[in-house]
Amino acid sequence: MSVIDTVNNLLKIVSDGVAGLVEGILGPGLGADLITMGLGALVLCTIVALVFMGMTWAERKVVARIQNRVGPNQAGPFGLLQPIADGIKMFTKEDTTPASADRWVYNAAPLIIATFALVTFAVFPLAPGVVGTNLNIGVFFVIAVGSASTVAILMAGWGSNNKYSLLGAFRTVAQLVGYEVPMLLNVIPVILLAGSMGLADIVQRQTLADGNPGIPFILYLPLSALAFFIAGVAETGRSPFDLLEAESEIVAGFHVEYSGMKFALFMLGEYVNTLAVSIVFATLFLGGYAGPILPPYLWLALKTAGVFFVFMWLRGTLPRVRVDQLMSLNWKVLVPMSIVNIIAVMILAKLFVTSPGLQAANGGILVTPETQAAILFVANVAILLSGLAIVARRARVLRLAEEAEIESRREANRAAVSGFAGGAPAR
C-alpha cells in the first residue's frame, strides 16, 4: 500500500485497527462490539466538540472581518485560544436556577438538545467506509433526529417560568416546525435521483465509477439546493432568521434564564446543528467526500467549511427578517415552489433516463448524465425564476395597495385639518 493510499484511508485504517485491537483483547463477541462502538462514539463526540470550539472562533473572526473589526486577538496567536478561555469561563461561572423554575424540565432541556444534536453525527460518511453506521434511511434519520430540538426548546421555555423565555420558545418552535416542511420536500428530488436515502449511497451516486467526482446534485437541482439551504439556515435559527434571540424584543429568547454550563450546552447544540446542516448540504448537493488528489475526509471538511462560511457571511451581512415575512417566505414561497419542483423533477427524470436498463424497463429517452443534469438545471432555474416573478408581482400589488391606503389616510387627515381652517390656524 502506497503512502498516498495510507493517507487517503487514514481514518479507515485507524478505526479498523482499534476495532481489531479491542477484539484481540476481549475476544469477538458482544462485549468487544459494545466497547468498539463506545470508543467510536466517544471519539466522534470529542471531535464534534472540538470542531464546535473551532467554529465559535472562526465565526467571531469572520464576522468581525466582515464588520471591519479584528475579533478575538488576545488569547493566543490570532485569538486561537479564545474558545478554551470561553470553555474555562463556562465551567467556572455560577449557574443560577430561577427559584420559580420547573426544575426537572429546566435541567433536562439543555442535555436533550445537545445529545440529539450529537446523535446525528452517527450516520455521516466521513470517508469511504468510515461512518458510524451506514443507515439505509440516512438523510431521513438526520431530519427526524433534528426535530427533537423543538421539544427541548419548549421544555427550556416552559421550565424557566419566564414570560420572555416562553414567548421566545413559542416563536422559535413555530419557525422551526414550519421550515421542516421545505427541508423534507427538498430532500426528495435528491432521493429521486439517487434512488436511496442512505448518505453513502447519495455520495456514491455523485461519484464516477473510477472514484473521481461526478456531477454534484447542486448542478442537477439548484432550486432544491437553494431552498434546502434557506430552510437549513432557518432550522438552525441563525441570522437572518434569528428571531428566537431578538434581543430587542424578547431579551434572548428561550435561554434567558440559563447560565454557565447549561448555556454552553445550548450554544453547543446550536453550532452542532449548524455543522450537521452544513455536512448534510455538502453530502447531498456537493458530492460529499468525493474529490481529486486530496484525501476524502479533507474534501468533506473543505466543503463543509465552505457551506459554513456562507452561513457566517449571511450572518455578517443580512438584517433580521420580520416574523410575518418569515412565515410568508416559508408557506407561500418555499413550500409551493418545492412541490412544483418535485413534480417537474419526477417527470423529467422519467422522460430522460441515463441507463439502458431503465429505458428498457420504463421507456424514456436515453441521454448522458451531463444532458440530464442540464435539462434538470434549466427546469429548476425556470421554476425558480417564474416563482420569483410571481412573488415580485404580488409584492408590488401589495405595496401599491399599502401606499394607496397611506395616501388616502393622509387625504383624510388633510380634510380633517382643513375642517379647522375656518377657525383656528392648522398646526
- Give the footprint of another protein on residues 295-354 (CB under 8 A): 323-324, 326-328, 331-332, 335-336, 339, 342-343, 346-347, 349-350
Helical (H) or strand (E) element with 365: strand 365-366
Q: Cβ distance 58 to 301 under 8 Å?
A: no
Position among 51, 55, 62, 119 found at the interface with another protein (CB under 8 A): 119
Q: What's the start-to-end Cα distance of the chain, in Å?
A: 90
Q: Which is closer to another protein, CB of 44 or CB of 298?
A: 44
Q: One symbol per residue from 155 to 194: x for binding another protein (CB under 8 A), - otherwise; what is it?
A: x--x-xxxxxxx---x--xx--xx-xx--xx--x--xx--
Contacts of 377 (CB under 8 A, 6+ apart): 219, 220, 222
What is the footprint of another protein within residues 211-240 (CB under 8 A)?
none
45-64 positions binding another protein, by CB under 8 A = 45, 49
3-state secondary structure of 207: strand
Rounded distance between C-alpha atoms, residue 229 and residue 232, angstroms: 5
**CB 165 to another protein: min, Å:** 7
Distance between CA atoms of 1 and 396, rounded to whole angstroms? Answer: 64
CB of 15 to another protein, least distance (A): 12
Q: Which of 114, 156, 219, 233 binds another protein (CB under 8 A)?
A: 114
**Cβ at position 297, least distance to another protein in Å:** 19
Q: Compute the least distance from the CB of residue 292 to another protein, in Å.
A: 28
Q: Interaction with another protein in 354-383: which residues (CB under 8 A)?
A: 358, 361-363
Q: How far is the CB of 132 from another protein (least distance, A)?
A: 5
Stretch that binds another protein, among 28-36, 52-60, 67-75, 398-406 (CB under 8 A): 28-36
Residues 222 and 380 sit within 8 Å (Cβ to Cβ): yes
Choose one: 15-23, 67-75, 103-111, 232-240; the region binding another protein (CB under 8 A).
103-111
Residue of 135, 301, 366, 367 interacting with another protein (CB under 8 A): 135
How many residues belong to the chain? 427
Q: Give, in degrees to the nearest 5, the angle at Cα 46 between 42 and 52.
A: 145
- State which of residues 54, 76, 98, 213 lies at the interface with another protein (CB under 8 A): 98
- Give the distance from CA 217 to its chain's centroid: 17
One-letter identity of residue 341: N
Q: Is 247 in the site for another protein (CB under 8 A)?
A: no
Residue 21 or 426 with smaller CB distance to another protein: 426
We find the least distance from the C-beta atom of residue 3 to another protein, in angstroms, to be 31
Tell which one of 18, 66, 85, 148 touches another protein (CB under 8 A): 148
Instruction: List, in order, residues 6 or more apart from 269 with CB less than 8 Å away.
Output: 110, 113, 114, 117, 149, 152
Task: Choose, by CB under 8 A, the member of 34, 400, 401, 404 that binds another protein.
Answer: 34
Report the residue from 58, 80, 105, 375 that binds another protein according to the rule CB under 8 A: 105
Pick the piece of the chain touching another protein (CB under 8 A) from 7-15, 257-265, 296-304, 392-400. Answer: 257-265
- Do residues 341 and 189 touch, judged by C-beta distance below 8 A? yes
CB 253 within 8 A of CB 162: no
**Interacting positions 64-93 with another protein (CB under 8 A):** 90-93
Whichever of 76 and 336 has its CB closer to another protein, that residue is: 336
With binding defined as CB under 8 A, does residue 144 bind another protein?
Answer: yes
Interface mask toward another protein for 395-424; x: CB under 8 A? -----------------xx-xx--xx-xxx
CA 16 to each of CA 10, 45, 57, 108: distance values in angstroms, whole numbers, following the listed order? 10, 18, 32, 36
Strand partners, 366: 353
Q: Is 175 exposed, middle or buried (0-12, 13-18, 19+ CB in 10 A)?
A: buried
Q: CA distances (Å), 65 to each of 20, 70, 74, in order? A: 47, 6, 16
The 10 Å Cβ neighbour count of residue 332 is 13
* CA nearest neighbour of 250 among 152, 170, 151: 170
Q: Applying CB under 8 A, does 245 fall inside the site for another protein? A: no
The CB-of-96 to another protein minimum distance in angstroms stands at 5
